[in-house]
Amino acid sequence: MVLNDTFDRLERSFSQATRFSSDASHELKTPLTIMRGEIESALRTGSHNPETENLLDSLLGQTQRLSTIADKLLLLSRADVRALNLKKEAVNFTAMCHDVVEDAEILGMQRNITTKAEILPEVIVWADRSYIRQALVNLLDNAVKYNVESGAISISLSRSGSLAMFRIANTGQEIPKDREGRIFERFYRTEASRAGEVVGSGLGLSICREIALAHGGHIWLERPQAGWTAFVFTLPVVPDGRDRPKEQEPAPDPEGSRFILSEMLPA
- Separation CA 73–CA 93 (nearest Å): 26
What pLDDT does 256 receive? 39
* 42 vs 172 pLDDT, higher one: 172
pLDDT digits (tens, 9 = 90+) for 107-150: 999 899 999 999 999 999 999 898 899 899 999 999 999 999 99
The answer to whether residue 163 scores a pLDDT higher than 90 is: yes
What pLDDT does 143 receive? 95
- Separation CA 43–CA 54 (nearest Å): 10
What's the per-residue H, E or C state across the chain? CHHHHHHHHHHHHHHHHHHHHHHHHHHHHHHHHHHHHHHHHHHHHCCCCHHHHHHHHHHHHHHHHHHHHHHHHHHHHHHHCCCCCCCEEEEEHHHHHHHHHHHHHHHCHHHCCEEEEEECCCCEEEEEHHHHHHHHHHHHHHHHHCCCCCCEEEEEEEEECCEEEEEEEEECCCCCHHHHHHCCCCCCCCHHHHCCCCCCCCCHHHHHHHHHHHCCCCEEEECCCCCEEEEEEEEEECCCCCCCCCCCCCCCCCCCCCCCHHHCCCC
66 exposure class (CB count in 10 Å sphere: 0-12, 13-18, 19+): middle
Domains of the chain with bracketed CATH: 2-80 (1.10.287.130), 88-263 (3.30.565.10)
* 22 vs 27 pLDDT, higher one: 27
Is 0.75 topped by the overall pTM?
Answer: no
Of 144, 157, 151, nearest to 103 (Cα)? Answer: 144
What pLDDT does 58 receive? 83
